[in-house]
Amino acid sequence: MTERIYNAIKKFPQEKILKDNGVLLAKWKINSASAREFVLIQENTFVFVLKGHKIIVKDDDEITVGNKQLLVLKKGVHKMTEYLAADGQFEALVIYFDDSFIKYLSDFNKADWTQPSLKADDILLLDSNKVIDGFVEQYLNYIQENINDSVVLKLKVAELIYLLLKEHPYVKSFFVSVIQQHSHLKSMMEKLYKEDYTVSQLADFSNRSLSVFKRDFTKIFNCSPGKWILSRKLSDACFYLINTDKNISEIAYECGFGSLSRFDKSFKKEFNMTPSSFRSAGMGQISK
């Protein structure tokens, strides 16, 4: 885990990094705004914005993360960008923690993890307070003084997690879902099925080899990745054809087919009729 994260962020020479197996702290500093793009987060992450602000997209809604807020991200693919402060800098304290660290905490004190949990989001945005601000100061001091002590790092991150569990009981669903591996793949596919990625690229995004990705995918979705993606796109297309007045070309691109001809060919193969004929037949049924 540690080397994978380190390799992902070592291109930022201004970073100071403390690392241990299961937990990694970094002060992230950039001086140029980033483009909005899908970013693979290889481990679960706490983000405390110190300068500037971050925008992350969740279900087509934009979430702005600024000072005095704590962003918690589940590992996987997220669409985001960073914006600079007035002095031309973006800075954040970033804490990465892997699934095994959460599993360790849940095994250590099962009482805090046994209540039924609600459906968990992949993104949490929490307002900070004096206690959390104090943690941020401590973490920054550790980085500044290069206190790279394994026990201290794990204890402080564990303390933060338990504090969040006590102050915000609903975040338990997030941490419980972290150790339920299948939820990561489902969430990732719901975000990316419209994008023009190969199955091999999707495997990389999920931190799996191609063979493991295909095996896990079939277990969860009961079909191959290609078949599920096509079915999901066509399902969306059917909805738009019946329930909106978007033209066929708009629907083709909005559903991720890339071209009208590709959409038309896939649709005819599945339904034995063109999208236009399907729309006419569907509207006829509605008008009866």
pLDDT given at position 157: 87
**pLDDT band at 3, cuts 50/70/90?**
very low
Q: What is the structure's pLDDT at 180?
A: 67
Percent of the chain with pLDDT over 90: 22
Over the chain, what is the mean pLDDT? Answer: 80
Q: How confident is the model at residue 260 (pLDDT cuts 50, 70, 90)?
A: very high
Give the pLDDT band of residue 274 (cuts 50, 70, 90). Answer: very high
- pLDDT tens for 149-171 read 778 888 888 888 888 888 887 78
Confidence band, pLDDT 50/70/90 cuts, at residue 13? very low
* Three-class secondary structure assignment of the chain: CHHHHHHHHCCCCCCEEEEECCEEEEEEEECCCCCCEEEEECCEEEEEEEECEEEEEECCEEEEECCCEEEEECCEEEEEEEECCCCCCEEEEEEEECHHHHHHHHHHCHHHHCCCCCCCCCEEEEECCHHHHHHHHHHHHHHHHCCCCHHHHHHHHHHHHHHHHHHCCCHHHHHHHHCCCHHHHHHHHHHHCCCCCCHHHHHHHCCCCHHHHHHHHHHHHCCCHHHHHHHHHHHHHHHHHHHCCCCHHHHHHHCCCCCHHHHHHHHHHHHCCCHHHHHHHHHHHHHC
Query: Would the pLDDT of 119 be above 70?
Result: no
Average pLDDT over residues 64-69: 86
Q: For residue 275, is pLDDT > 80?
A: yes
Is the pTM value of this prediction over 0.75? no
pLDDT value of residue 17: 58
pLDDT at 12 over 50: no
Tens digits of residue pLDDT in 172-231: 888 887 776 555 788 788 888 998 889 998 988 887 889 999 999 998 888 999 999 999
Residue-wise pLDDT for 222-251, tens only, equals 899 999 999 999 999 998 998 888 999 999
Average pLDDT, integer, range 57-73: 85
- The pLDDT-based confidence of 110 (bands split at 50, 70, 90) is low
